[in-house]
């Protein structure tokens, strides 16, 4: 069970280091001394969704970018896009931003939502008509406090997303339609003359999509990283005379989760009876809202029937033990993590199903606390 290293070895500390370099104080420590690097220049942060450190070091040694591996970092808890990407954009982990997973129960609406699409799980109703992410998190991006010009380079299908509109407050946004187009957009911004240094955040989702659909061990996953590696080097070779640093990292890693690893809540009616709300969080880390008076029955069922598949932890203890982050917790977090958390063992996943929900069971998943999910690579390129 890997706990995020918020004291100097996580993606949060990478952001803290960048903020410090860009002239803004950050409440989290910077990266440990042996992980410092020269960023007194323009900075491009390329986030490859789903690229775990173990996958990269075990399967990608022949990729040409491998020699630029600097170290490994931990992601945040839980190890999922909603939690980690919001950290990259806002600068803080779940302890502060309170987007607790892909699925989360929102007390304000009285229902379970998909966080980044900001729509209901059942019926897929867009909730941005009634609220905003700023209201949901109580935070906003701090780009205006940085002594740099900030640009976000996003997939084209995110263009009308309320989440993208939220995380881009104070930044300029460009959208791309392909891998080549993403690097073309980076090149375009790289050439722009500005009085301030530039900070570019590019987000690539292709590897994550393949790993969910086929599993990270599939040959298509490795082929995709090799292709992306070649594009990175092409971009660097075309930009040799430019004073910038390229940082490549990820939001989380992956596990293969074949169909036989799935625990279906409907096959455990006694457990379902204990719950007042749907399972939320992730298939690899589920938040459980337990009915009043049913806690003992819930714990007994987990310990007697599901102990092989998951570990049960009290949600409030995970907060006090700083799994979600350091410092004062966002007051909204306690309503979004339930009473207990089921942390799945090995490669097991657990899912419930709501009426009206279009559910996909994926061959690759993340969100848990295994090394494959929690560790991400940090690569540094200084082309000039």
Quote the CA–CA distance of 211 and 55 in Å, as a whole number. Answer: 11
Fold classified for 259-365: Gyrase A; domain 2 (3.30.1360)
Mean pLDDT of 316-335: 96
Read off the pLDDT band of 384 (50, 70, 90). Answer: low
pLDDT tens, 121-172? 888 888 988 889 999 999 999 999 999 999 999 999 999 899 999 999 999 9
Quote the CA–CA distance of 199 and 210 in Å, as a whole number. Answer: 28
Per domain, the residue ranges of the chain are 11-256+369-381, 259-365
Read off the pLDDT band of 58 (50, 70, 90). Answer: very high
Quote the CA–CA distance of 319 and 326 in Å, as a whole number. Answer: 9
pLDDT tens, 196-207? 999 999 999 999
Mean pLDDT of 79-100: 97
Supply the DSSP symbol for 305.
I
Residue among 382, 380, 384, 383 at smallest CA distance from 69: 380
pLDDT tens, 239-261? 766 788 999 999 999 999 999 99
* Count of alpha carbons within 13 angstroms of residue 227, beta-carbon side: 12
Read off the pLDDT band of 62 (50, 70, 90). Answer: confident
Residue 287's pLDDT is: 98
**CATH among 3.40.720.10, 3.40.640.10, 3.30.565.10, 3.10.180.10 for 11-256+369-381:** 3.40.720.10
The CA-based angle 352-354-357, given to 5 degrees, is: 110
Residue among 381, 59, 374, 81 at smallest CA distance from 234: 381
- Separate counts of helices (H) and strands (E) for the chain: 13, 18
Residue 207's pLDDT is: 97
Quote the CA–CA distance of 369 and 162 in Å, as a whole number. Answer: 29
Quote the CA–CA distance of 277 and 320 in Å, as a whole number. Answer: 23
Residue 241's pLDDT is: 66
Q: Worst-scoring range by mean pLDDT, 108-122, 276-290, 302-316?
A: 108-122
């Amino acid at each position: 069970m890997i706990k995020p290293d918020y004291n100097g070895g996580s993606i949060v500390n990478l952001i803290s280091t960048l903020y410090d370099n860009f002239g803004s104080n950050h409440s989290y420590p910077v990266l440990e001394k042996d992980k410092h690097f020269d960023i007194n220049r323009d900075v491009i942060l390329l986030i490859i969704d789903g690229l775990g450190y173990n996958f990269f070091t075990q399967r990608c040694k022949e990729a040409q970018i491998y020699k630029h591996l600097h170290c490994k970092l931990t992601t945040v808890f839980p190890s999922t896009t909603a939690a980690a990407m919001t950290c990259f954009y806002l600068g803080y982990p779940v302890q502060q931003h309170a987007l607790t997973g892909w699925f989360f129960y929102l007390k304000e609406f009285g229902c379970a939502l998909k966080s980044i699409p900001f729509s209901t799980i059942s019926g897929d109703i867009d909730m941005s008509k009634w609220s905003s992410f700023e209201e949901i998190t109580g935070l906003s991006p701090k780009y205006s406090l940085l002594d740099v010009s900030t640009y976000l380079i996003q997939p084209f299908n995110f263009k009308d997303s309320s989440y993208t509109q939220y995380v881009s407050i104070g930044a300029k946004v460009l959208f791309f339609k392909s891998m080549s187009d993403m690097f073309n957009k980076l090149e375009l911004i790289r050439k722009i003359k500005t009085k301030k240094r530039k900070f570019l955040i590019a987000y690539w989702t292709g590897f994550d999509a393949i790993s969910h659909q086929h599993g990270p061990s599939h040959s298509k996953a490795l082929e995709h990283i090799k292709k992306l590696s070649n594009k990175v080097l092409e971009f660097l070779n075309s930009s040799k005379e430019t004073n910038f640093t390229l940082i490549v990292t990820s939001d989380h890693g992956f596990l293969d989760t074949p169909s036989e690893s799935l625990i279906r809540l409907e096959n455990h009616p006694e457990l379902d009876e204990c719950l007042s709300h749907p399972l939320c969080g992730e298939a690899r880390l589920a938040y459980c809202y337990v009915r009043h008076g049913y806690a003992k029955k819930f714990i007994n069922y987990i310990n007697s029937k599901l102990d092989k598949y998951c570990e049960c932890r009290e949600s409030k203890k995970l907060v006090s033990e700083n799994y979600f982050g350091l410092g004062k917790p966002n007051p909204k977090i306690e309503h979004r993590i339930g009473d207990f958390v089921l942390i799945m063992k090995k490669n097991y996943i657990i899912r419930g199903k709501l009426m009206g929900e279009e559910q996909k069971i994926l061959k690759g998943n993340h969100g848990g606390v295994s090394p494959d999910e929690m560790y991400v690579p940090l690569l540094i390129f200084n082309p000039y």
